[in-house]
Amino acid sequence: MPSIEIYLTRWCPYCRRALMLLDHKGVEYTVIDVDTAPGLRQTMRERAGGAHTVPQIFIGDTHIGGCDDLFALERQGQLDPLLTEPSSVTH
């Protein structure tokens, strides 16, 4: 299973929705709270191609995007394959 990282803030409702979907899938993930250290938001922006909103989700080397992007992958039946096989495609 690829590593899953989600950049978020604890007060963001979209972040909570994304976490609920990942929890429902039963996968382990690493939470990176961008409010806990000054440089984390900048690191997130660099990794996410300039995206500055939270959440920003990465599965393996794949930048998924935000909450809406994660749910779109789920609706299209493309999330489960990403959760089981590493990918380096950027969306």
Could you report the per-residue pLDDT of 44-87, keeping only the tens digit for each? 999 999 999 999 999 998 999 999 999 999 999 999 999 987 54
Please state which CATH number belongs to domain 4-84. Answer: 3.40.30.10
Specify the higher pLDDT residue, 68 or 91: 68
User: What pTM does this model have?
Assistant: 0.90
Predicted pLDDT at 88: 44
pLDDT of residue 86: 56
The domain spans of the chain are 4-84
- Strand order across the 4-8 sheet: 30-33, 4-8, 56-59, 62-65
Query: Which pLDDT score is estimated for 11?
Result: 95
The tens digit of pLDDT for each residue in 13-52 reads: 999 999 999 999 999 999 999 999 989 999 999 999 999 9
